[in-house]
Structure 1
Amino acid sequence: MIWSTITSILGIFGALGIFLFGMKVMSEGIQKVAGDSMRKALATMTKNRFSAAFTGFFTTCMVQSSSATTVLVVSFVNAGLLTLVESIGVIMGANLGTTITAWLVAFIPKFSVSKIALPVIGIGLPMFFIGKNKGRAIGETLIGFGLLFFGLSELKHAVPDVKTLMATNAEVAEFIKNTVTSVQDLQFGATLIFLVLGIILTVVVQSSSAAMAITIACAWNGWFGSDPQQAFMSCAAIVLGENIGTTITAWLASIGANVHAKRAARAHFMFNVIGTIWAVILFGLFTKFVWNILGIFPDWMVEMKTKKAGGDVNEQLIIVAFAVAIFHTTFNFMNILLLIPFVKQIANLVQKMIKDKTGADTDEEGQRIRYISQTLIDLGELNIVEAEKAVERLSTQCQEMFKGYIEVFENPHQDMSAQVNKLKEMEDEADEMMQDLTEYLVRCTSKEASPHLSERIAALLRITAELEECSDAIYRLIKIAERKYKKGRQFTPEQVESIMEIANVIEEFMQFTHARLLVGLSDEDSAKAQAMRDKVVSLRKKYNKVAMARMAEGNVKVEMLNIDTNTQLDVVSNHLFHVAQTNAELA
């Protein structure tokens, strides 16, 4: 008896493990095949609430996990790639996208999925081992697809059938039957109890898709009684709970992130809770409406065996899966229609709930990049977007530092110590950003990545190192200007003019490089970068030669400061050129 129970429980976990692993493999494979498209969609197709919702739906359909999409949204908001309003739209679409899983589960009894799943794995396996690049990724996708369906099929069989359980262990079966019947008799109370059960189930398995599969498998096997409509209502209440339970993943992802990411996670929770509240209030009418919709579907899809006097109970309960799929999709679609006009109001409410007490828009913590998904959902190819945003931020920081240096250099008679201290903090921050970025990108490479992604990660690592070295060189320029100020040494108008001539070229070079960061350089742009680099080298040689000639008759120490300044400006230009070269390789 005990051993049989343990075996049954382990069987359920094993089937669930195959399902979740298949989902993970399929998701990573799809990201390798279409990662660029999904990254571009999330970065560009979220400018209004409707396109954002469609993007969330599309992404979730692709990766087959609303948890992955919402963790990704929190990650993007943390990086500043998405605004709070945009993130709410994506989250709404993700909730609709995850309903695809219920439809996949519903079709399991209609077709011999296990017979289809293994051949699909058989097709994908040689492609995975022999194929290259996209061919290998497609093979990985097929293997994941097959494992997902095989896991669903096994889950259906792993959950004990109450009818069989009655024959082998009547006491346990009777206890289950009486408990469920007692709860269902509570009517509205039953809705709340099953809702809480759905929340707990989803929090435990950390996947609303897996929780959905378990729920339907239990219904198939008679755990919610032999009446299909009654079983459907129990499942529907559990589904509402699963919609709330799935928000825990985004909430966990927001721990340690900035205030904007916390708000995005809270918005996800608010959207699902508001939807659940109205669905619970209208539960009787809504479930009746969904049950009646079943008549619209063709007979080959939904066989209304409940209308027949005969037929196996488990065959009759097949209809529950389709009813749950319809309920899940209809609920999320109606919730989007009801709440999408109020996206800004939800954003305002969340901002009031989570106040910015630490000034996260400007403080150091707001600039730190964190590998948000490391302990939760592995976002695979999509992780790279946050790193790209951080590299752009590092480039912006270098520009701000150089403007700060120009301000210090052009005001030798003013006390600029406060500005120098601020620039020192920016240089320290650049060091931290490089350390965070390097660690983050190394984590990204710890997973098997597509060749295209590996090349991009290598480019990001090179650009990060060059920009950090650039910030170091700018700070050395600031220290030279500070030393000149403290020693009371003054540059002649000719020296100031020569230094500013080089600095102006570098400022233009910085703007040019930043505008084309991570997008690749054309041959014309590459030639322009080379021309700017050559001009700085030419000016540095010219004015250093002039400074050397003046040493014999002028102030040697001032001329040495002039040469040091020209040399460090050349170093900044050199690092910018290396960034441009790396960008050219991405074209």
Structure 2
Amino acid sequence: MILNIINFAGSLCFLLYGMKLMSDGIQKSAGQKLQAALAFMTGNRFVGLLTGCILTMIIQSSGATTVMLVSFVNAGLLSVVQGVGVIFGANIGTTVTGWIVALGSSFEIKDYAIPIFGLGYILYILKRFKSKEGLWLAIMGFGLLFFGLGGLSDFFAVPQVKGFVINFIGVVNNFGFISYAIGLLIGIFLTALIHSSSAMSAIVIGMAVAMSKEGNASIEELNEFWRFGAIMIIGSSVGSTVDAILAAIGANANAKRTAAVHVLFNVATVIIVLIFFRPFMAFVELISPGHNIVYRIAMLNTVFKVIGTVIFIPFVNQIAAFVSILIKDDKEDEANIYKLEFNERMAIDSPEGCVFRAQNEVRVFSDRVAQMFDELQAGLSNFNSDFVTGGYERIVLHEDYCDQMNEQLTQYLVRCTHLHLSDSAKDNAALMMQLIAEMEAMADGCLNIAYQLKKAIEKEMTFNQEDFDRLLPYFELARQLMYFIYKNVARIQRLTPEQFQFASELEQQIDDERKALKKIARKRLESGSDVRSELLYMDIIRQIEKIGDRCFDAAGDLR
């Protein structure tokens, strides 16, 4: 019996690792396209529902989808309302594993495990196909999944195990309503323990496969297992929320609200189904093919999730409003404090998603730099005391925020580079580290110019209007180059040769204009103009040119 238990544990590990390998492989193969789909294909509740369903069917893990979702809501990529539909869809998508097991029950699924794994491994080690290694890992995972399922089926077919299961269910069913509570708690506990409702449904269906083989169990015993297995499947829906809860720890209020939606939705669906348990079971029996309890359990899992979605999808806005009341807004911290936490759950379930999260933070960084340029341009245009009390202070705050972002984002990206990422994601992480260094230097340059302006205004320095009339178009050239880079940084998009040529021409115009302006300033110095004013004017010209250089360096990084 001890050996059988060890075989069960090993088969379960094969199953869980196979699902993990499938999820990681598909995510690695698709790069960050899956995360992009989750972030942007949520225009309304039905699109969000479809996105969550398809994404979970592809990566075989509602936990990974939910962890990504909570993280994206935490990052501000999605709202709570958009997240509700994705949660509904993920719950439906996760039922596909049960159908794989059920459909595989008609043949010896284990016999196909080794050939599938072997094919994936051969393709993986062939350097010729190295660019598709994520896909080959997914095939290997699929083989391990089959091997684990076959092992579970063999375990439950052992006479001692089958006898124990039948006797246990027979005893528990004598407790009447309490038997429902026991089955529910078993489903919740085991699913929370293994972090996978898909694996839990595979275990229950694996038990059904073993028991439904001819001569293994009587009709009465099968019916008792059908009822108890159904209760465990229903309980697994609550246990599956543990990933969302863990992902929300330490996150902001909206991320916690998203996790709360997942918990409340699953719990509410369980309560509704339990209230109408008998008619629900009768309905599943009616629409299930034949009298096979294997298909009944797979059907129950799907119908259960679909019913919950049908009931609650019309109330997405109301659900979002309710959790907003339930979970209060975060306490108002200082507006200029930046905080970026590395999500350990996401690093495990969706490493590519961590890099995608960083891309959003880089967009925020570039927004801050763009705001500094706008404030600085306003100061150059007006050149009065309003800049000292308004624009300059805002530029100081922006620059301090950029310093914080530079430090924390760099640390975050360094941790990302140690994850199991696709080559494209690794390249993106390295590129982002270069870009944030350039943008931080641009922010420093803006602060230097702002300080020079502030000093000139406070000391009541005078400049010829002609000087500022020429300085503003010069700064506008740098601003154009910065905004050109900004648009591509926001998308982490490589420049085409034509785009890089455009950036080169702008940078050359900045250099040419700098030389012309400095030449004019020197002539005025030689003719006896105010030395302090001319030196400050030349320093501003130099600082603007340095910002242009940084922008062009960023263009080189994006090339």
TM-score (norm 1): 0.87
Partner of 1:381: 352
Matched, 1:105 2:78: no
Are the counterparts in 1 of residues 406 and 436 from structure 2 also a CA contact under 8 Å? yes
1:155 Cα offset (Å): 2.5
Rounded to whole Å, the distance in 2 between the matches of 1:195 and 1:562 is: 76
Tell me if the contact between 2:32 and 2:356 (Cα under 8 Å) persists in the aligned partners.
no
> Who is 2:48 aligned against?
52
User: Structure 1 residues 403, 320: closer, same or farther in 2, change over 3 A?
Assistant: same
Assess, with a 3 A threshold, how the Cα gap between structure 1 residues 224 and 441 changes in structure 2: closer, same or farther. Answer: farther
One-letter amino acid of the counterpart of residue 149, structure 1: F
Instruction: Supply the AA of the counterpart residue of 2:547.
Output: V
Per mean C-alpha deviation after superposition, the further-off stretch among 127-136 and 243-252 is 127-136
**Does 2:554 correspond to 1:582?**
no
Aligned residues of 2:63 and 2:349 also touching (Cα < 8 A): no
Query: Which of 301, 315, 323 is the aligned partner of 1:350?
Result: 323
| Deviations, residues 501-546 of structure 1 (Å, cap 9, x unaligned) | 2222222333322223323334443332222222221211211221
Contact 1:224/1:234 (8 A) holds in 2: no
Q: What one-letter code is carried by the residue in structure 1 that aligns with 2:263?
A: F
For residue 507 of structure 2, what is the aligned residue in structure 1?
Answer: 533
Q: What is the CA–CA distance in structure 2 between the aligned matches of 1:489 and 1:220, rounded to whole Å?
A: 88
Choose from 470, 481, 484 the match for 2:456: 484
What is the RMSD computed on CA atoms of the aligned residues? 2.5
Deviation of 1:491 (Å) = 2.9
Q: In the alignment, residue 125 of structure 2 is paired with which amino acid?
A: F
Please point out which of 250, 254, 273 is paired with 1:260.
254
Q: Which residue does 1:234 correspond to in 2?
A: 228
Matched residues in 1 for 2:511 and 2:421: separation? 39
Q: Write the letter of the residue equivalent to 1:516.
A: N
> 1:202-242, CA deviations, whole angstroms, 9 ceiling, x for partnerless residues?
11111112222233344556699962222122112112221
Q: 1:364 to 1:229 in 2, by over 3 A?
A: farther
After superposition, the C-alpha distances for 1:140-169 in whole angstroms (9 at most, x for unaligned) are 1211111111112222334584x32588xx
1:547 maps to 2:543? no
CA distance 1:112–1:289, change in 2 (3 Å): same
Residue 458 of structure 1 deviates from its aligned partner by: 2.3
- Aligned-pair distance for 1:408? 3.9
Aligned to 1:312: none
Stretch moving more, 140-149 or 523-532 = 523-532
Distance across 2 between alignment mates of 1:375 and 1:31:
12
**Distance (whole Å) between structure 2 residues aligned to residue 511 and residue 484 of structure 1:** 27
Question: Amino acid of the residue matched to residue 190 of structure 2?
Answer: L
- Letter of the 2:241 partner, please give it: T
Q: In the alignment, which residue of structure 2 is the partner of 1:573?
A: 548
Moved more, 406-415 or 253-262: 406-415
Distance 1:507 1:107, change over 3 A: same
Q: 2:131 matched to which residue of 1?
A: 134
TM-superposition CA deviations, 1:94-137 (whole Å, max 9, x none): 11110011112223432222210100111111211114443322
Give the equivalent residue in structure 2 for 1:170: none
Consecutive unaligned residues in structure 2, runs of 5 or more? none
Q: Aligned runs of 1:462-477 on 2, under 5 Å?
A: 462-477=434-449
1:210 has 2:223 as partner:
no
Measured after TM superposition, the shift of residue 355 of structure 1 is 1.7
Q: 1:425 to 1:10 in 2, by over 3 A?
A: farther
Structure 1's unaligned 5+ residue stretches are: 168-172, 305-318
One-letter identity of the residue aligned with 1:230: E
1:12-27 alignment runs, 5 A limit: 12-27=8-23
- Helix, strand or coil at the partner of 1:227: helix
Name 1:558's counterpart in structure 2: 533
CA distance in 2, matches of 1:461, 1:353: 39
Q: Does 1:430 align with 2:402?
A: yes
Structure 2: distance between partners of 1:414 and 1:137: 57
TM-score of the aligned structures, taking structure 2 as reference length: 0.91
Separation in 2, partners of 1:505, 1:227: 81
Provide the secondary structure at the position in 2 that maps to 1:110.
Answer: coil
Using the TM superposition, name which of 138-147 and 434-443 deviates more.
434-443
Q: What is the 5 A alignment of 1:280-299?
A: 280-294=274-288, 297=289
CA 1:83–1:417 in 2, change beyond 3 Å: closer, same or farther?
Answer: same
Structure 1 residues 133, 75: CA separation in 2 closer, same or farther (over 3 Å shift)? farther
CA apart distance, 1:577: 2.0
| Aligned counterpart, 1:323 | 296
Higher deviation after alignment, 531-540 or 368-377: 368-377
Instruction: Give secondary structure in 1 for the equivalent of 2:529.
Output: coil
Q: What's the offset of the Cα at 1:473?
A: 1.3
Q: Does 1:504 align with 2:498?
A: no
**Match for 2:519: what amino acid?**
K
Partner residue of 2:141? 144
> What is aligned with 1:520?
494
Q: What is the CA–CA distance in structure 2 between the aligned matches of 1:133 and 1:390, rounded to whole Å?
A: 31
The alpha-carbon deviation at position 374 of structure 1 amounts to: 4.6
Report if the CA contact (8 A) 1:253-1:376 is conserved: no
Partners of 1:180 and 1:81 in 2: CA distance: 47
